[in-house]
Every structure is written in structure tokens, then in C-alpha cells.
Amino acid sequence: MNPLELTLGIMTAVGGFVDISELVFAAKAGSMFGYALIWAFALGTIGMSVFGEMSGRVAAIAKQPVFNLMRHRLGLKLGLITLIGSLISTLITCAAEVGGMALLLNYLTGLPYLLLAVASVAVLMATMWVLPFEWIERTYGLLGLLMIVFAVAVVAIHPPWAKLAGGFVPQVPAGLSQKQLLNYSYFIVAILSAVLFPYESYFYSSGGIEEGWGAKDLLTNRVTCTVGFGLGSLLAISILASSAQLFGPINVGPEIPGTTALEAAIPFGKTGLLLALLGMLFAVAGAAVETCMSNAYAISQFFGWEWGRHAKPWEAPRFTLAWIAVMLLALLIVLTGVDVMSLVEYAVLFSIIVLPLSYLPLMLLANDKSYMREHANKWLAKSLGWLFFIIVTAAAIAAIPLYLLTSGGGG
């Protein structure tokens, strides 16, 4: 294990963990329910670590990315349904990230939102064209580390640490009305969805193959998924905790995505504000790239095209056209004027519905000794994998009724 590679991998995972959905739901969850939903982020992160580790291991040993094995395991018809569902949910997520980027640039520069959306997509496409895979991932991941300002900010405002720590224990707060209870349940589902977005494991497993992972990289994979994702989730939890202390008591929801940056401005002034906005910008930009490439991976792998940014764009032409098309479609959605918060709601809703079908073939393949040999799931991965599969299936079933009954968490 190369220590430099490992450190870079962890740092990239930390900086790349948070996206616009987690930013939005962490701030709202903290304001509405105090520290009581920290455990949902922690639970989702453990699930992400479990499935991430499995998808990285499958990439390293079976040398198959997720969508190849999905079609092989589910068959053509069910595989097509999963592909279409995942393409739609990831496209909506990509549009939310692009819209989020435009908003953040709007806060930083004051320039018109729609113009900034076009500029954002142009810059993203340029980086995806010019840079090879490793540098695409590293650039946005490392720049996203500016989000650490949120972790420092929560320490600076001296939260009640005992209460904060108590939030890691699964709970239902006492004294909630029926409506609030439904809202609380909706937030659990939304947080799990935002943390466990299917595009993350598609991107991670395809990335493992792009980087030529083999058996020697299994420990790197395991450490990146546990330490990297764990530390990354602390950034989201910091946003929740600051919101609980700063926003909840003064009736702030928040409804405007830019309000979250105030969590760093209140203790640190303009420097904190700028670091927060830039950190959010790069984290969201990284997520825009990941969602876009994830869709291109999915289509290419499902139909057996050449794929990957380890190749030059003209060496994998249909893959290249696919990511260009996804990015332009995402831009088109943003240009219709639909607001970013609505896109986030839809992204989270569609993603949780697709999640069980996305993770089932991964579980089956990671358990299969004919592909994985001595690296097939042992008892811990098997037990945790099936446990989280049951959890995401339950969340998928509950998602639409809860969304309708709570008007998307708004009451």
C-alpha cells in the first residue's frame, strides 16, 4: 500500500463525499430536529462504506463494473428497467448539482444564474475532456476539502457536545406530533437516499477499473471506504450540528441553499463565508462530474461499448458522446428555471426507489466465489450487506407515501 496514494485517496473521498442534497438535508434536519438525525447520516455512511467496499472489491477482483454485472444478474428486461430508472434519477441529481454550482457562483460573483449555469457546464466539460480520470477525481475531491471550514466552525460555536454525541444513537424524539413524526420519517428516508445515492457506487466501482485496481489494492479500497467516507460524513454532520444551534432557535429552515454558508460566516466572518462557498462549490462541482460520468458508465457498460477516461475521448467515442449528452441534458433542465431545491427533492425520491435494484446484483456478485474466489464476502460483509439491503428496500417502499403525506418534508 503506497502511503501517498492512500492519503490522496482518503482526502479525495472526504472532499468528494458531500453533494448538494446532503448540504440541503443536513441543514434542514438540524434546524427542524436538532441533533436527533445525526444517526441517520451515520447509518447511511456505514451503508455507503459497506456497498462502496464491495463495489471496489468486485472491480479489483472480478474486473467487472456495476452495470455489466447488473445486466448479467438481472437479465435484459429487469436490467433495462434498472438502467432507465437509474439514468433518470442520476440525471436529475446531475441537474441539481449543476444548478447548485450556478447558485454558489451567483452568491460569489452576483452574475446572472442562468449564465453561470452555462459557464459551469462549459468548465466541467472542459475538465472532463482535458484531464485523465485520476486528475478529474483528485482535482474536485481535494478542492472540496475547503468544506473542512464547517467542521472547524461547529467547534468554534461551542455546541452542547453531550447532546451532539447523543444524536449518534438511533432515536425518535419525544413529544413529536403526528405530522412531525411523518416529517421525521421522511427525513430519515431522504438522508439515507442522499448518502447512498446509487451514482456513488457506480462511479466508485468504474473508477476502480479506470485506475487498474487489483488484489493489491484491496486494503486501499477498504481504508478509503471506511476512513474516507467516515470523515466525509463528519462534514455533513457538522453542517447539521451548526444548523441545530444557529438556525433552529431563530426559525430558519433554511429555504435558500446559500444560507448554509452563514454557519461559517457567523464565527469567522468574510473568510469563513468565502471558504464555505468555495468548498460547497467544488464539492457540488465534483458531484456534477460524478453523476454525469456515472450515467455515461451505466449506458456504456450496459451495452458493451468502450468506456472510461483512462482512454482519450476519441478512443471511447460513444462513451464520450454519452457524457456530453448527459451534461447538456442536465443544463437544459436547469435552464427551464426549475428551482434547485425541487430538483434535490426529486433526485432524492427517485434515487431511493432505484436503490434496491442497484445494490442487489452487487450483493449477489460479491458473494459469488466463482468470480471473487477467496475474496468473496465473508460473514461480516454478507450480514451488513443484507441488513442494509433490507433497510434501503424498506426506505424505497416508504418514500413516495411519506413524500406525499409531508409535501416533501415541508409539513
Partner 1 sequence: MSAFDHIKIVSQLLDLPIVDKDERFCGIVDDIELSGTAGKEARVKALLVGPGAYQGRMLGWMFWIVRKIAGDRMARVPAEQVTEIGSVVKLKSRAETLGLHQVEDKVRAWIPRKGAL
Partner 2 sequence: MRWILLLVFLLAACSKGPQADLPYIGQARSLAAEWALVNEQAVEGKLTGSYVQTMRQSAREQLQTCEKALSQPQSDYAQEITAILKQPDDASPAALRAHARKLKRIEDSLESA
Contact residues toward partner 2 (CB under 8 A) are 106-110, 177, 179, 250-256, 258-259, 261-262, 265-266, 269-270, 272-274, 277, 404-405, 407-408, 410-411
Rounded CA-CA distance 249/63 in Å is 51
Cell of 360: 442487489
Q: Which of 107, 113, 268, 305 binds partner 1 (CB under 8 A)?
A: 305
Q: Which of 303, 394, 401, 410 binds partner 1 (CB under 8 A)?
A: 303
> Smallest distance from the beta carbon of 224 to partner 1, in angstroms?
23
Q: Which residue has the cell 471511447?
A: 316
User: Applying CB under 8 A, which part among 14-22, 104-112, 289-297, 298-306 lies near partner 1?
Assistant: 298-306
- Name the amino acid, one letter, at 281: L
- H helix or E strand, kind and range, residue 382: helix 379-406
Closer residue to partner 1, CB minimum distance, 75 or 269: 75
Q: Which residue has the cell 460547497?
A: 280
Closer residue to partner 2, CB minimum distance, 265 or 355: 265
Residue 209 binds to partner 1 (criterion: CB under 8 A) = no
Which residues are CB-neighbours of 202 under 8 A, at least 6 positions away? 55, 65, 66, 67, 86, 90, 294, 297, 298, 358
Rounded CA-CA distance 397/388 in Å is 14
**DSSP one-letter code for 173:** -
Q: Which of 3, 4, 76, 175 binds partner 1 (CB under 8 A)?
A: 76
User: Applying CB under 8 A, which part among 35-43, 180-188, 246-254, 301-309 lies near partner 1?
Assistant: 301-309
Spell out a b/e string for 93-120, using b for 16 or more CB atoms within 10 Å of the CB, else e: bbbbbbbbbbbbbbbbeeeeeeebbeeb
Rounded CA-CA distance 20/341 in Å is 9
Q: Which of partner 2, partner 1, none binds 216 (CB below 5-8 Å, type-dependent)?
A: none
Residue 205 binds to partner 1 (criterion: CB under 8 A) = no
Rounded CA-CA distance 358/385 in Å is 13
Give the closest residue to 273 by CA, choosing from 282, 264, 281.
264
Binding mask 311-350 for partner 1 (x = CB under 8 A): -xxx--xx-xx-----------------------------
> Smallest distance from the beta carbon of 90 to partner 2, in angstroms?
27
Closer residue to partner 2, CB minimum distance, 108 or 156: 108
Closer residue to partner 1, CB minimum distance, 130 or 169: 130
Phi, psi of 208 (to 5 degrees): -60, -40
- Other beta carbons less than 10 A from residue 411's beta carbon: 10
> Smallest distance from the beta carbon of 379 to partner 1, in angstroms?
24
Q: Which of 1, 112, 123, 135 binds partner 1 (CB under 8 A)?
A: 135
Binding mask 355-384 for partner 1 (x = CB under 8 A): ----------------x-------------
Rounded CA-CA distance 73/52 in Å is 19
Residues that bind partner 1 (CB under 8 A): 62-64, 68, 71-72, 75-77, 79, 129-132, 135, 300-307, 312-314, 317-318, 320-321, 371
